[in-house]
Amino acid sequence: MLKLFISYSHKDETLVSNFISHIAPLKNNEIISEWYDRKIETGEEFQIDIDNNLENADIICLMISSNFLSSIACLKEKDDALDLRNKKGIRIIPVILSPCAWSIHKELSNLLAIPTDGKSITSFVDQNEGWLDAINWIINVSESVNTIKKLKLKKDFESFLNSSDILTKSHKNKEVLNLEDIFVYPKLKCYDGEEVSHKYDAEKFKSEILKFGKLIIAGENQAGKTTLCKMIFTIYRNLNYIPIYLEDENKFLGNPKVRIEKAFFEQYDSEDFDLLDIKRVVPIVDNFHFAKYQDKYIEEYESFKFQVLIVDDIFGLNFKNQSLIKEYNKFKIREFTAIERNDLIIKWIKIKEDSEIQINSNHLQQSIDQKTELIENSLGIIFGKGIMPSYPFFILSLLAAQDSQNPLDSEITSQGHCYQALIYLYLKREGVKNEQIDIYSNFLTELAFWIFEKERSSLDNSEFEKFIEYYKINFNLPISIKDLVKTIANVNICKFDSLNQYNFCYSYIYYFFVAKYLSEHIKSKKSIIDKILSNLHKDENAYITVFIAHHTKSNYLLDELLLNAEILFEKYNPVTLDTNELSFFDKHEDKIIQAILPSFKHDAEYERRKILENKSNIEDAKSKNYQKEHISKSDEIANDLVTNLRLSIKTVEVMGLIMKNRSGSLDLKRLEYIFEQGLKVYLRILSSFIEIIKDETAEQEIIELLTERINQIIEERADEEKELSIEKIEKLVRSIYWNLNFGVLHGFITKTIHSLGSMNLLNISQAISDKEKTPAAFVVNQGIKMWYAKNLRVDEIANRISEKDFSKTAERIIKFKVVEHCRLHKIEYKDLQNIENKLHIPSKKMLIERVKDK
């Protein structure tokens, strides 16, 4: 039964009673069930009841009269009803009870008012005739709503909507993976003309899609366009519209409206297309960019108020008359940022055949952190903008590949296995047989190195022909070049772009096969590998080095990498963070901000969300600046210090990734040596920084410079009421100076923890800490335990920081790491008290009490 909500003024109760009497046959035949405020029972909160019934109505009748139009409560209900019409497509019927100036209200005059032509009920000589006319209209609307509501999708099409396609069998804990198990709404770029006006969360389509009317949504390959189509289809269907999915890679030839009708019968279990309200039909056209006659389609679709066109490039649409798409709202699917990736990883982890299984929150968080690191490393975010698009397909494929890896197989690396599985998945999906994989792999390996050696990013047509000639001469090719090239183009591995340049579609595939070639020719290509290792400050070289380590177990790469590491910042001794070394820093302890424990009831999820938002903003900024940086990047960087610093950091990050990927195949002594050398590089960098800030003359010069500049800013501000003395400014600057210095120390230690740490390297970290016996090695080791093992050893930390060699600055750093751990994890009240008592870290509550005492 349809739910009919009646909005009226109590002064018109007699007329409304007559209306209710006239709709009795509709109620008796179970067509409608009416609701109005006289149905509220004593004791119920009437406004909540009214709002709930209004929200859930299928049809809303506004009983219009001068009484209605002069009632604030009735006008509010009218506005709420119209808002629901815009959000949910609810049918609104103005019923004109008596003559009044209702047509002045534009939003009412745009609706079909009843009785016919908006004549009022009381204007009829016999009011029963007026009610009969009105009821006939309500019957028509009810039949229309009911016809659409009763539409059932065919099972095959319903399966298509629910299918996660190639990922259906990808999860180890669920036999069949449905789309709802893994779907996370993407963020979209909203275009105004050719300019991006703002970001838009696609999840808002659930409540706002009707306000957009006509949509064009663009997305790159594997961006999730079809998946978003499916979700949009479901959204429209839930709003009682008739979405119709259309897809054709054969240029969409034929009459557009005939295609819609044909698709309707394929998708819905119905034989009455002509009886449907055409205003409720929503064409959703996937891959519209393939349409040969795009203008024709747009013209034919003009009558559809709601429609969705999915394309690969908004501005690549082939329209002779661009004004045709002027009324369309234009969006583009963005890559997932840290927030969406986190939501997707959580969904993946929580998938269980038994939905009742509960996961301990910190255990869950440990799993999330581990998979997040895998994904960010695999996407290449650790080194720069990335080498793999941060789209859900790639993220989910990487997660599935990691879960399917045999941990006992030491011949492959965890990260490299994920890339390899994804590339082979492409080929197998296109029908390439297992025995043919090697043919494709070799072709791509030779092609990648051919491009790399020529220091190009792509080949023009003639250069590609030269490569084909070279390949035919040197390798057996049992399948035709035409078929091979077509296959790798179909799965978006390599193809000609719009500028007729032949290139790899994704950087990770290119780097993967360049590294494969070099790993297979280590002896003859040592000079090239040496050049790559000497220039790891370039992202491309860092990526290729990690891939080489996946493809080969040769000691040459690691030996050269370690030799390079040993000479980085070699004139400095690794920092120890002990009392002798940092006595000058400890004198300024009072100026440095304190670490403060969160309250027991703090929200760890909220804290993590803030960090994710910050990471997302940084990734956005990287993406915006990447093109400019990429174009202007020069092989010669003027500032040697910056180059050396970047080279050092990248070298350790590469060493760390190799350790993490091969933690099961490298022997213990080798792992310990790599870890130790990586740690020493970072500690030597810190030593160079400490040498600079230790110079009191340099400190005073910087303080004076900053003091002078801040004083100048204050003097320039005409609206400044309070003046600060030079002494106060200098005191403020000195505090800022030492907090910045502390921030650098803390930041580098944090960088070291994440570059070298891993759940599989806990024993390696412990071994190096025991060997070095310095505060610096101890802080790094404890940081790795806290982040990767979720293991906070309070007694161990308390005992170590009490020793004489442990500087106040090192103590402050480890306290900040402890507080960070407590903020980002659920900690029991008694454990927080234990931390507060043994490590003497104040809590917010303690600080508030101190303030009260003062």
| Residues 63, 130: Cα–Cα separation, whole Å | 13
Question: What mean pLDDT comes out for the span 518-542?
Answer: 93
Stretch among 42-51, 621-630, 639-648 having the lowest mean pLDDT: 621-630
DSSP label at 843?
B
* Residue 599's pLDDT band (cuts 50, 70, 90): confident
pLDDT tens digit sequence for 192-239: 766 677 889 999 999 999 999 999 999 998 899 999 999 999 999 999
Say what the pTM is: 0.86
Q: Return the percentage of the chain with pLDDT > 70, whole number.
A: 92
Cα–Cα nearest to 757, from 394, 362, 366, 402: 366
**Helix or strand or coil: residue 92?**
strand
Report pLDDT for 634.
42
What would the two tokens of residue 243 be?
């979405």
pLDDT tens digit sequence for 463-494: 999 999 999 999 998 999 999 999 999 888 99
Contact status, residue 82 vs residue 7, Cβ threshold 8 Å: no
| Residues 760, 675: Cα–Cα separation, whole Å | 12
Cβ burial of 62 (10 Å; 0-12, 13-18, 19+) is: buried
DSSP label at 224?
S
Report pLDDT for 635.
43
Report pLDDT for 324.
76
Which CA distances in Å does 183 have to 180, 331, 803? 5, 19, 52
Long-range (24+ apart) CB contacts under 8 A made by 613-616 are 613/338, 613/339, 615/337, 615/338, 616/337, 616/338, 616/339
| Residues 587, 71: Cα–Cα separation, whole Å | 73
Helical H segments across 554-595, by residue range = 555-566, 579-586
DSSP label at 251?
T
Strand partners, 114: 95
Cβ burial of 837 (10 Å; 0-12, 13-18, 19+) is: exposed
Phi first, then psi, for residue 408 (nearest 5°) are -85, -10
* Residue 695's pLDDT band (cuts 50, 70, 90): confident
Cα–Cα nearest to 372, from 387, 390, 357: 390
What would the two tokens of residue 127 be?
């009011």
Contact status, residue 201 vs residue 185, Cβ threshold 8 Å: yes
Give buried/exposed letters for 534-562 (b at 16+ CB in 10 A, else e): eebbbbbbbbbbbbbbbbbeeeebbebbb
pLDDT tens digit sequence for 751-771: 999 999 999 999 999 999 999
| Residues 340, 653: Cα–Cα separation, whole Å | 25
User: Is pLDDT above 70 for 412?
Assistant: no
Query: Is the dihedral angle over the CA atoms 393, 399, 405, 410 positive or is it negative?
Result: positive
Report pLDDT for 540.
92
| Residues 839, 817: Cα–Cα separation, whole Å | 12
Phi first, then psi, for residue 188 (nearest 5°) are -120, 150
